[in-house]
Every structure is written in structure tokens, then in C-alpha cells.
């Protein structure tokens, strides 16, 4: 249905900004016209071929499981393919804890994601070196990290949405690419192997994922669900791709002819290995009912190109071979791909990363990077002037709410162990210990009817405080993965956009006191914050800020750091504004297709500074709001923007450019993000920056899934958020809009 032959000829890959090439040197070294990475892959492939040729069919089949056993006679040690690194090395003991992925997405900062990927790879190598020296090669101890999650967060009810980089294909692709390049490195071997997951149309419902069929149009597939995967395969050379649990257009994602054979291996020429999600292949015969036996399921997955099975269905591979369901050549093909990755990681020949010591785990450099990531992730949604707080003007500060002292709300899911945790309460206490008294009341449980401390204690604390910091929200027990959460009613998904009723009661009780109140919302997704927007004095979206995030949150509250994050997702007003959760059509979803006014738009976020666009230059000439420019849209377009901070508070800002082909019927209704750059502007200072749109910004996808050059003219908007009335009214800033005509 969605082979998209014309797209193979016309597709122009998203991104590829020249300003990012310097970070990794992705222009690449060449020898004899062959890129170094391809040369290394060919060498690794030949070594893998030679090694696998010495194995029996039984030995080869044994290597296709995530817990591959040792082959002593060939000096092949055991290897467990299952390791996690969503926002730090996970489930393997001590590691630096970065903000959850959705928080890092709010930074809109490619260089930050690259640096985080580098730090995670360094700690992953340090831990692998330590564990292997101790003879421990078990689960979570390897170098094949099943991250990043680049699914599109199309519906805020999806419990795993906080693992993603948000709702936009361009933002997801740019940040995912940077993370993969940082994780895999640019050495002679892979520093670690990244994995793009979950290929490809996957975003809930969690409770139905094992039998659900995500039906998607060709246009939505190629316009929304595939671009980030294509970018990571083609531009970042991601080493692995993981299939999803569900079906897409009738076929299981771990045995899907169009996705795996025609697109991934065919059009995109993917050279790495494919891994199933855990126990997804078992679903073929127990949930999807496309096969009858484990042997048939194993054979179907292998034939379609799934090289390694997370789970136990490939235990039946030898039986499938003996029954004639698979050939030895098919088993050999998968084994060669897997050993190619192991050679690329330098696991047999030794490599430059073998000397990375355990002292690099949770080192000062990485902890400082985690603090920087937290600072860039926090989004200021409302401020009537109460923020930043002045320590010397306060005598008593009330800290209230179930997430104020909740470690679980710091770390999200897929996390490592931190040697220290700093909750929001602890961060505030440390920050004001020489200035003010801190009163604390939990006020309510996170979601249960049973109330700890109670509303009356919360009200008393509010009445006796100069300012109230009300810390509410969720944690991974309320939004997360099926089977990895306490939210049994929705299997990890949210039923609606409301905070739990016990928290809504607490918020109303505290707001009724009438003291200056700042809402600190700790969630990984968009919530219905209409009451808070109407009655609170300020709102900060903290996401899940990392194990020591409370310190940075306090620094933001007291003005040591200006908030500068931008929303990577739309905050809707209410659940009724959403289409049906199971409908994978993009109609009415995300900022690109939104039909109703949002509460807070995608790309929105305030700062303590007052940064404005002073001048915009194109081709060395100043352009004004409303100008019409004629240029060749077959190449990248650059604008130089001069920014001016009109107050004395230094801050970061995120300049964003949106584009819309206003007369092309195939353009997304509300235009799309096409460029971004994060800039630091000193107090009362000015700075110039360059913002680039790749030529893909001037393309559209038609109903057949074919990407083509769009019909002009193009409306270009440059600003600190979307070019809509809601953004302008909230921020008090207009975008600079120009029209581009094709030459």
C-alpha cells in the first residue's frame, strides 16, 4: 500500500543543517572515495562472515536471541543485546541522570543532545569495561543501547510519550540524529550502538499494543511517522532499528513487508541490524493471530529481516529450520549482521575505548551537563511578575504538593541509579537556608483517595507563607509503559488530561487562600491547566528533571537561571479537543493539524529576559515584516537575525522558523517548523545568529505518500514561537513574516 516508489526518487531528507556538521565532522573522512564508516563496516562484515562460517547452524541460531550464549570453541563470549540509555545509562547501577527525553526535547538544542549522547556513551563504555572485567555480561551490561525513542507523540494520553522528543517530525529528527551521533561517536569503532525505536507507527494505546492495528494513510506515514526514522538511518547511520509491538496496516511491525523490506532495507539501504521489541514476536501467534505456532512466528520475523529477538520465540528457530520453515542462509544472514555490529563495537579486536575508567561514571563534568540540560528544559508557561523570587524579600515560603518531595517524579522511566537525589523541596530548602523559613505540606497523595497530611494542613501552610510553591503532577506510576506502571486502569496511558482529583482538590484549596502561588507541574505530557492558567500567578512545566533536578529548579525560581525551554508538544484545553485515541490520522492532532485553539502552543515558552528581534538579514540586506523575496528554493535558505535583550536579565532564547506553502493543497494546514537555533543573550545585550531552513522545508507530501517540491509562494515566520495569535498574545511578541517566491 505504501511502497512510495515516487518518494524514493523525489524525497529530500529533512535537516542536514550546515551549522551542525562541525559538531561531529559529519562531512566525513574518505579514502578512495569510500566513506570511512562504510569502509569500517565492510571490514567488520568480512570478519563477521568469516567467524559465522565456522559455526554450526545450531550455534548460529543461538546468536539471534537477545541473550546470546557463549561459543567457547570459537572464543565468542556471551553477549546480551538488551541495554537501555533513554536519558542516561539505565538499569545497570550508577549513572548520571539526565532529564527525561521530553524535557531534553524542550531545549530545542541539537548540540545539547549530542553532548548528552556522548556522555552516556562514555559512561556505557566505562560500565561495560568494569562489568566485563568482573565476568558479568548479563542484561543491561552491553553496548547496544535501545534508544532513542523517536515515535511521534501524537496524543497526550499516550503513557510513553515522555520517552519521545515530542510531536513534530522535524524536531524529533534533528534531536534524534544529534543524540545518535553523540552516542555512536566518530572514532575508529562505534563508541556505543544506538537504536531507533519503535519502527514505525506506534504511539498507543498501551493496553492494546500487543494486538492493535495502527491504520495510517500514505500521506501521514511519509509526512509524519517516517521522516525521523529516515533521518537517523540515512544521516546518523544508526546501527539498529527496533520494531513495534502493533501491526501497521495489517502486518506486524516486526514482520512487515513494506516497512522492513521495501522501505528500511530497500529504499533506505539500512545496513545495521533489526531487533524486535520484547516478546513482540510471540504476539504473532498469541495476539495478532497471523501465525499458529512459535516456529511459524520465528520464521516469519526472520524472513522479513528481524535479526535479533528480544524475548524467547527465537528459541524455536532451530525447530523452525528442521521443519523447513527457514533456511540456513536466512539464519546466517541475521547472524552476520549481528556479528558485524559486535566487530564495529570493537568487542573482539580491542579498541580505543577499552581504557575508559569507572571514574567517568557520574563524574563532575557529566553532572554539570545534566544540570545544564535541566536548566534548558524548564518551560515558563505563565508569569504575572512574581518570578523570579527574591530571597531577601521573603520570610516564609510554603512548599506544598505530592511531587515536592517525590524522587520518582525526578527520574521518569528507564532510569539509572543516582548517588544523590535532590527533590524540589530539598532544592528550595538548600537555596534559602540563610534567608527564609520553609514550611512543607504534602497536601495530598499523588492519586489515591487517601490523603496524607490533608488539605487543611496545606491551607494552613499557604496562609502562613509569603509565597506558595505548589508542586503537582504525575510520575511514571501514572504515565508510562504497560506492565511498567501502577496505573492498571489505563495500562500506562492517561484516561484524560486532568490531574488526579485529589490534586485538583488540593490546587483549589490552596488557590482559594489567595497568597501568591506558583504552580510547578511535573509531568511528561500535556495537561489541562486551565484553572491554573486563570488563577495562579506563575506556572513552570518541569517535566521529569533528573535525579538532582531540584537544585536547578530552585536556581530558576530564585533567578540564578532564566527559564528558556519551549514546548515540544501542544497543550490542549481539554480532552474533548482530542480525536479518538485509536485514530492514527493526523487530522486535528498536533500544531500542524490543530483545528481548535490550544491552551499553550507548540514552541511556546517565556523567559525572564525581554528578547526581541531587532533586524533580519537575507543575502546581506535587511528585510522587513511583510517583505516579498524571490529566491531559489532548491537549496538551503539562511537568515541572519540580530536579537536585542531589552532588560538586564541574561537568558537563552530559541529562535524558530516556520514555513507554509500557502497555495499548495498538500501543505499541512498550519505550517511546520523548519529551523531552530538556541542563542544566549546577555542582559541589555545584542547578539546575531544564523537560522537555516533546509531545502526540504519547501516540499510537501501528497496523498500517495510522494514528497515533491511545493508550489510557492511560501510564508516564512521567524520568531520565538509559532506564527499564531495565541503565541503572540501569550508572549507579547510578533513573528517577523516574509513571503518567498520561487525564482
Q: According to the model, what pLDDT value does residue 725 have? A: 85
Assigned domain for 736 exists = yes
Q: According to the model, what pLDDT value does residue 489 have? A: 63
Same domain for 307 and 391?
A: no
Residue range 221-248, pLDDT digits in tens: 999 999 999 999 999 999 999 999 999 9
Question: How far is residue 342 from each of residues 51, 299, 307, 330, 339, measured CA to CA in Å?
Answer: 12, 24, 13, 19, 5
Assigned domain for 18 exists = no
Query: Does residue 722 have a pLDDT over 80?
Result: yes
Of 30, 39, 74, 28, nearest in space to 339 by CA? 74
Query: Does residue 23 have a pLDDT over 50?
Result: no
Same domain for 331 and 381?
A: no
**174-181 mean pLDDT:** 98
Assigned domain for 547 exists = yes
Q: Which of 332, 360, 388 delimits the end of a domain?
A: 360
The mean-pLDDT minimum among 134-143, 361-370, 713-722, 734-743 falls in 734-743
Catalytic site includes residue 667: no
Same domain for 738 and 681?
A: yes
**Rounded Cα distance, 186 and 188, in Å:** 7
Question: How far is residue 251 from each of residues 201, 247, 294, measured CA to CA in Å?
Answer: 12, 5, 17
Q: According to the model, what pLDDT value does residue 9 have? A: 31
CATH of the domain at 72: 3.20.20.300
Same domain for 355 and 383?
A: no
Same domain for 525 and 477?
A: yes
Residue range 139-175, pLDDT digits in tens: 999 999 999 999 999 999 999 999 999 999 999 999 9
Mean predicted lDDT score pLDDT of the chain: 93
Contact partners, residue 33, CB within 8 Å, separation at least 6:
none
Assigned domain for 16 exists = no
3-state SS assignment for residue 484 = coil
- The one catalytic residue in 208, 235, 277, 295 is 277
Domain that holds residue 83: 36-360
**596-609 mean pLDDT:** 97
pLDDT band at 449, cuts 50/70/90? confident
**527-531 mean pLDDT:** 98
Same domain for 174 and 313?
A: yes
Of 738, 742, 743, nearest in space to 622 by CA? 738
State how many domains the chain has. Answer: 3
**257-281 mean pLDDT:** 98
Residue range 29-78, pLDDT digits in tens: 333 334 547 679 999 999 999 999 999 999 999 999 999 999 999 999 99
Q: According to the model, what pLDDT value does residue 262 have? A: 98
**312-317 mean pLDDT:** 98
Assigned domain for 319 exists = yes
The mean-pLDDT minimum among 449-458, 557-566, 579-588 falls in 449-458
Catalytic site includes residue 134: no
Cβ-defined contacts of 225-228 (< 8 Å, 24+): 225/152, 225/169, 225/200, 225/201, 226/200, 226/263, 227/14, 227/169, 227/170, 227/173, 228/150, 228/152, 228/169, 228/172, 228/173, 228/176, 228/196
pLDDT band at 448, cuts 50/70/90? confident
3-state SS assignment for residue 611 = strand
Assigned domain for 21 exists = no
Of 206, 289, 299, 302, nearest in space to 251 by CA? 289
Contact partners, residue 327, CB within 8 Å, separation at least 6:
321
CA 182 to chain CA centroid, Å, is: 14
Q: According to the model, what pLDDT value does residue 634 have? A: 86
Same domain for 717 and 652?
A: yes
- The one catalytic residue in 84, 479, 653, 724 is 479
Same domain for 572 and 627?
A: no
Q: According to the model, what pLDDT value does residue 453 have? A: 67
Q: According to the model, what pLDDT value does residue 451 have? A: 67
Same domain for 435 and 540?
A: yes
Assigned domain for 502 exists = yes
**Rounded Cα distance, 529 and 521, in Å:** 9
Query: Does residue 487 have a pLDDT over 60?
Result: no
Same domain for 545 and 643?
A: no
pLDDT band at 485, cuts 50/70/90? low
Q: According to the model, what pLDDT value does residue 17 have? A: 31
Q: Which of 360, 380, 407 delimits the end of a domain?
A: 360
If one counts every other C-beta atom within 10 angstroms of the C-beta of residue 137, the result is 17
Which of 5-14, 19-28, 123-132, 490-499 ranks highest by mean pLDDT?
123-132
In the chain the first and final C-alpha atoms are separated, in Å, by 36
Report the percentage of the chain scoring pLDDT > 70: 94
pTM, entire model: 0.95
Same domain for 195 and 325?
A: yes
Assigned domain for 308 exists = yes
Q: Which of 533, 567, 593 delimits the end of a domain?
A: 593
Same domain for 94 and 189?
A: yes
**Rounded Cα distance, 418 and 511, in Å:** 35
**Rounded Cα distance, 151 and 142, in Å:** 24
Q: According to the model, what pLDDT value does residue 5 have? A: 34
Of 546, 687, 676, nearest in space to 111 by CA? 676
**526-554 mean pLDDT:** 98
Query: Does residue 497 have a pLDDT over 90?
Result: yes
**Rounded Cα distance, 38 and 47, in Å:** 14
3-state SS assignment for residue 175 = helix
Amino acid at each position: 500500500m505504501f511502497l512510495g516508489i515516487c518518494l524514493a526518487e523525489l524525497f529530500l531528507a529533512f535537516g542536514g543543517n550546515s551549522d551542525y556538521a562541525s559538531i561531529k565532522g559529519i562531512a566525513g573522512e574518505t579514502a578512495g572515495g569510500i566513506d570511512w564508516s562504510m569502509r569500517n563496516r565492510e571490514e567488520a562484515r568480512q570478519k563477521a562472515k568469516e567467524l559465522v562460517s565456522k559455526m554450526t547452524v545450531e550455534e548460529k541460531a543461538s546468536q539471534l536471541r537477545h541473550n546470546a550464549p557463549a561459543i567457547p570453541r570459537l572464543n565468542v563470549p556471551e553477549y546480551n543485546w538488551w541495554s537501555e540509555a533513554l536519558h542516561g545509562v539505565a538499569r545497570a547501577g550508577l549513572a548520571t541522570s539526565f532529564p527525561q527525553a521530553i524535557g531534553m526535547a524542550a531545549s530545542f538544542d541539537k548540540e545539547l543532545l549530542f553532548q548528552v549522547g556522548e556522555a552516556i556513551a562514555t559512561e556505557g563504555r566505562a560500565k561495560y569495561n568494569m562489568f566485563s572485567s568482573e565476568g558479568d555480561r548479563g542484561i543491561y551490561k552491553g553496548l547496544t543501547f535501545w534508544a532513542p525513542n523517536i515515535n511521534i507523540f501524537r496524543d497526550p494520553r499516550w503513557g510513553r510519550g515522555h520517552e519521545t522528543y515530542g510531536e513534530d517530525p522535524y524536531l524529533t529528527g534533528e534531536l534524534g540524529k544529534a543524540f545518535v551521533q553523540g552516542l555512536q561517536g566518530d572514532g575508529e569503532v562505534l563508541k556505543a550502538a544506538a537504536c531507533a525505536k519503535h519502527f514505525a507507527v506506534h504511539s498507543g494505546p498501551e493496553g492494546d499494543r500487543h494486538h492493535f492495528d495502527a491504520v495510517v494513510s500514505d500521506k501521514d506515514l511519509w509526512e509524519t511517522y517516517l521522516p525521523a526514522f529516515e533521518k537517523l538511518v540515512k544521516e546518523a547511520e544508526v546501527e539498529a532499528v527496533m520494531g513495534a509491538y502493533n501491526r501497521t496496516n495489517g502486518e506486524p511491525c516486526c514482520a512487515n513487508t513494506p516497512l522492513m523490506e521495501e522501505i528500511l532495507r530497500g529504499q533506505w539501504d539500512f545496513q545495521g541490524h533489526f531487533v524486535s521489541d520484547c516478546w513482540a514476536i510471540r504476539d504473532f501467534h498469541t495476539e495478532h493471530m497471523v501465525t499458529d505456532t512459535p516456529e511459524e512466528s520465528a520464521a516469519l520475523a526472520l524472513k522479513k529481516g528481524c535479526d535479533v529477538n528480544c524475548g524467547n520465540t527465537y528459541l524455536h528457530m532451530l525447530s523452525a529450520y528442521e521443519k523447513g520453515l527457514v533456511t540456513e542462509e536466512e539464519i546466517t544472514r541475521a547472524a552476520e549482521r549481528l556479528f558485524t555490529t559486535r566487530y564495529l563495537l570493537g568487542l573482539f579486536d580491542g579498541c580505543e575505548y577499552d581504557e575508559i575508567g569507572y571514574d567517568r561514571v557520574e563524574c563532575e563534568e557529566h553532572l554539570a551537563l545534566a544540570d545544564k540540560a535541566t536548566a534548558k528544559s524548564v518551560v515558563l508557561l505563565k508569569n504575572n511578575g512574581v518570578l523570579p523570587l527574591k530571597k531577601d524579600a521573603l520570610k516564609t515560603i510554603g512548599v506544598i504538593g505530592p511531587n515536592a518531595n517525590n524522587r520518582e517524579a525526578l527520574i521518569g522511566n528507564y532510569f539509572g541509579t543516582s548517588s544523590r537525589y535532590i527533590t524540589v523541596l530539598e532544592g528550595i530548602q538548600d537555596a534559602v537556608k540563610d534567608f527564609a523559613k520553609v514550611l512543607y505540606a504534602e497536601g495530598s497523595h499523588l492519586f489515591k483517595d487517601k490523603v496524607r497530611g490533608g488539605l487543611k494542613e496545606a491551607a494552613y501552610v499557604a496562609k502562613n507563607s509569603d509565597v506558595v510553591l505548589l508542586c503537582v503532577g504525575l510520575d511514571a506510576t501514572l504515565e508510562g509503559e504497560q506492565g511498567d506502571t501502577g496505573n492498571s486502569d489505563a495500562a500506562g496511558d492517561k484516561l484524560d488530561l486532568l490531574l488526579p482529583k485529589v490534586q485538583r482538590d488540593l490546587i483549589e484549596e490552596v488557590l482559594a487562600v489567595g497568597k501568591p502561588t506558583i504552580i510547578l507541574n511535573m509531568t511528561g505530557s500535556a495537561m489541562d491547566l486551565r484553572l491554573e492558567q486563570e488563577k495562579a500567578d506563575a506556572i513552570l512545566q518541569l517535566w521529569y528533571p533528573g535525579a538532582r533536578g531540584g537544585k536547578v529548579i530552585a536556581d530558576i525560581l530564585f533567578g540564578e537561571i532564566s527559564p528558556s525551554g519551549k514546548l515540544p508538544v501542544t497543550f490542549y484545553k481539554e480532552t474533548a479537543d482530542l480525536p479518538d485515541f485509536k485514530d492514527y490520522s493526523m487530522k486535528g492532532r498536533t500544531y500542524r493539524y490543530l483545528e481548535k485553539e490550544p491552551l499553550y502552543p507548540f514552541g511556546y515558552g517565556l523567559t525572564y529576559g525581554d528578547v526581541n528581534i531587532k533586524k533580519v538579514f537575507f543575502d546581506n540586506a535587511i528585510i522587513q515584516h511583510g517583505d516579498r523575496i524571490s529566491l531559489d528554493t532548491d537549496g538551503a535558505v539562511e537568515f541572519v537575525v540580530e536579537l536585542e535583550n531589552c532588560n538586564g536579565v541574561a537568558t537563552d532564547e530559541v529562535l524558530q522558523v516556520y514555513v507554509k506553502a500557502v497555495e499548495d493543497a498538500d501543505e499541512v494546514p498550519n505550517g511546520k517548523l523548519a529551523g531552530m537555533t538556541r542563542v544566549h543573550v546577555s542582559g541589555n545585550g545584542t547578539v546575531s545568529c544564523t537560522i537555516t531552513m533546509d531545502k526540504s522545508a519547501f516540499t510537501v507530501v501528497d496523498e500517495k505518500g510522494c514528497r515533491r517540491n511545493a508550489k510557492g509562494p511560501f510564508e516564512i515566520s521567524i520568531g520565538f514561537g509559532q506564527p499564531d495569535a495565541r503565541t503572540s498574545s501569550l508572549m507579547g511578541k510578533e513573528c517577523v513574516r516574509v513571503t518567498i517566491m520561487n525564482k
